[in-house]
Amino acid sequence: EPISSIDLMERASISACKQLIGTVFFKRIHVVCGMGNNGGDGLAMARLLSEMGKEVQVSICRMNDEGSADFEQNLKRLPTSITVHDLDTSTAFHSEADVLVDCIFGSGLNRPVEGWPGRVIREMNESGLPIIAIDIPSGLFIGDNSNNPLKNIIQAYATFSFQVPKYPFLFARYEKYTGITKILHIGLLKTFDQQALATIITPALFKKRHLSHFEHKGKKGFLSLIAGQGDM
């Protein structure tokens, strides 16, 4: 669709805020951001939630000198009423909010989280607060996680992802990280090109043939069951 990335981020953030308001009750919210586009989503959500009258706090994991272009633009858009803290090697995570939003690492993560960002993730999990992960829980890979030690991963109450379900959402062993999964449609064109790792078959893909009440059982079709093992 002919839309800028910053405007698409705004659309995604509006959808995530609507879902958030409808999922948990809160007055105070703490958004924890990385410095990529997932962090940009978090900053946009923080601004929108503040405009709704929520008490908003933002923490930024300062892993780089500068974030993505859309992250930096949304950082400039934050109102002065929002408290922003930097997290680094010497800063422990602490929150007195009602709910946390995880926007540290998004779909681009392809290696295990180590060092102080891993500590931040552990401290968020240990806070006892419900965590809402945006796109995918930080620390979880978007595809195959067989090479992921699953050590420093957000354990979310719910995950709000965009447009399509992500591969780990389909397996029971990752439920402790994803929690409830909600897929939010943000208006991508049907020609949106993606490399599919799996296909979810839904009843919408099939159209039942109308049968007469007097149809002979031999004409009502047959059932084929294709079964596998492991991840099949």
CA angle 180, 182, 187 (to 5 degrees): 170
Per-residue pLDDT of the chain (232 residues; tens, 9 = 90+): 789 999 999 999 999 999 999 999 999 999 999 999 999 999 999 999 999 999 999 999 999 889 999 999 999 999 999 999 999 999 989 999 999 999 999 999 999 999 999 999 999 999 999 999 999 999 999 988 999 999 999 999 999 999 888 999 999 999 999 999 999 999 887 776 666 667 777 777 777 777 788 888 887 777 777 777 666 5
Backbone phi and psi for residue 87, each to the nearest 5 degrees, phi listed first: -110, 135
Q: Which residue has the tokens 């290696």?
A: 111
CB 56 within 8 A of CB 82: yes
Structure tokens at 160: 């709000």
CA torsion angle 130 134 136 140 (round to 10):
-60
Structure tokens at 154: 């957000």
- pTM (two decimals): 0.85
| Count of alpha carbons within 13 angstroms of residue 104, beta-carbon side | 31
Structure tokens at 152: 């420093």
Backbone phi and psi for residue 40, each to the nearest 5 degrees, phi listed first: -60, -40
